[in-house]
Amino acid sequence: MKVQDLYNPMVKFILSSPLHPMMSGGTMLLTFTGRKSGRQFTTPISYALEGNEITLITNRKHGWWKNLQDAVPVVAKVSGHYLRGTAQVVPADESALIAAMEKVYRGMPKEKAVEFAPDAVLIKIALN
């Protein structure tokens, strides 16, 4: 059993409950529709919110991001509030990925960001 198999349901529960302030400062719930299955998926993910844009970073090995390669409607639950927007994977060079990781993972040492960058995927959500 993978850690995510236990972690994700627990985080989803917390972020969907009155206890959400414990985690919602740095983690949100992202709901999107599968491009092949048409099913709805919800995943917890770290984020950075600036104005009307949310920045997300995920690891390339997690396949869910492929559902966001084209601009797609999503719902983000941020700090207990549902926000609608359009998410899209953004092609990014190493420096843009590192800058995004420093925003999303506040306090991440630059060496760690450089190490993670080759496997990182940058996603931006434009809020409606």
What confidence score (pLDDT) does residue 3 get? 60
All structural domains of the chain, each given as residue ranges with its CATH number in brackets, are 3-127 (2.30.110.10)
pLDDT tens-digit readout, 72-118: 999 999 999 999 999 999 999 999 999 999 999 998 999 999 999 99
- Mean pLDDT over 52-78 rounds to 96
- For 41, phi then psi, to 5°, come to -125, 145
Give the span between the Cα atoms of 57 and 119, in whole angstroms: 10
pTM for this prediction: 0.90
Q: What DSSP element (H or E) covers 25?
A: none
- The predicted model gives 12-25 an average pLDDT of 87
Beta-carbon contacts of 85 under 8 Å, excluding residues fewer than 6 positions away, are 54, 73, 74, 76, 125, 126, 127, 128
